[in-house]
Amino acid sequence: MTVRLSLPKDSFAPFLEFTTVGIIPSHILGTVGARDLPAHRFNIQPVGTGPYKLKELTPDRITLEANTSHTPSPWLSRIIFRIYPNYKTILTALERDEVGGDPLVEPGDVVRLQRRKDVTIYDAPENTVTMLFMNTANPVLSDRLVRQAITSAIDRGRVIEIARNGHARRADGPILPSSWAYDPNVKRLEYNLARARALLDEAGWTADPAGGPGRQKEGNPLRLVVLTNDRPERLAVAGEVQRQLVAIGIDVEVQATGAGGLVQDFLLPRKFEIAVYSWDFNGFDPDPYSLWHSTQVAPAGLNISGFSNRKADEALERGRRSLDRMERLKAYAEFQAIFAEEVPALPLYLPTYEYAISTKIRGVRTGIVANPPDRFRNVTDWFAKTRREIATRRS
């Protein structure tokens, strides 16, 4: 069967990825409209072609059993997901050998679990970047020199140590280092306190004439608020950013809110100055249009920094319009250079996804984790027991 799709305007390079979904059963969903899908019973009674099928769903557990029609057939005949009220109860269950794994280990618990002989810690790179988003509509942060000073004042390695116990990779730009579109040759601002102070001087923010630790401009003190959610990791990031910016004379206040409230009440309506926030890059096309093109500045858009730059817009448009990878590469290299100069946000780090599995389970392999279920990518190779027998080819 051939399916032909016609686009009303120019080519759109990410189109094929956006229209690619897994196989779904037509006898169940063939007549269901898109609006009805989220509430459809298929979500709790799924039918698919994967290595496992749903056996039972209760408030405290999900039981999967092997799909004997799948090739290759999985070694584990059954997998049970137990549902716990919070992270601490999951960790306790793991340490008591009541469960075979913990789907997400907090950085502060990694070292302790690594000392245990009955648990293996697996880590995988995430397609997530934690950034400092700077609101360019703010009178202070609208000045590129101030944004460059903030960027030069932040020691990202130290932030990673404080917030993640070193379990992260440094981020350098708006495109993931794992992407074919990432340009390692772009000249980026590095940690340099002397340059940070000089940039603030150039922007007119001079030392307090009264001899205080802060800076002022036309009698106004240099003060900024760093907003984050109340997760311990984010609070640690905000606290370390505060400490480092104070060193160049910026008076910083940290404010925390609930995770849901951060987005709806502050980021989308642009009611913030600097925000610690993580962005998930789902999929593998590098197109960053939705985060940085000026058409996305409106409150409904995702350009929460309010970044607006004509040359950046043109580069982003060329990057998503062309189907030629070399042309896209050139366009995205140009965009990354502009981003490094304008710094509407400071990418801090890419966290590693750490999960714990009992040493009774073997055959686990890691890979890029765009979403938590990705850790099961090779689940058909997992096994729990071994015995000597004559080798036969698995179907």
Would you list the domain boundaries of the chain? 44-124+357-381, 128-351
Q: How confident is the model over 270-314, as pLDDT tens digits?
A: 999 999 999 988 778 999 999 999 999 988 899 999 999 999 999
As a whole number, mean pLDDT of residues 146-164 equals 97
Would you put residue 211 in left (φ > 0), alpha (ψ -120 to 50) or beta? Answer: left
The SS3 call for residue 254 is strand
Architecture (CATH level 2) of domain 128-351: Roll (3.10)
According to CATH, the superfamily of the domain at 44-124+357-381 is Periplasmic binding protein-like II (3.40.190.10)
- Higher pLDDT: 100 or 126? It is 100
AA letter at 324? D
Q: How confident is the model over 300-354, as pLDDT tens digits?
A: 899 999 999 999 999 999 999 998 999 999 999 999 999 999 999 999 999 988 8
The answer to whether domain 44-124+357-381 and domain 128-351 are alike in fold is no
Instruction: Render 112-168 in DSSP notation, one character per residue.
Output: HHHT-TTEEEEEEEBSEEEEEEE-TTSTTTTSHHHHHHHHHH--HHHHHHHHHTT-E
Closest C-alpha among 343, 347, 371, 356 to residue 160: 347
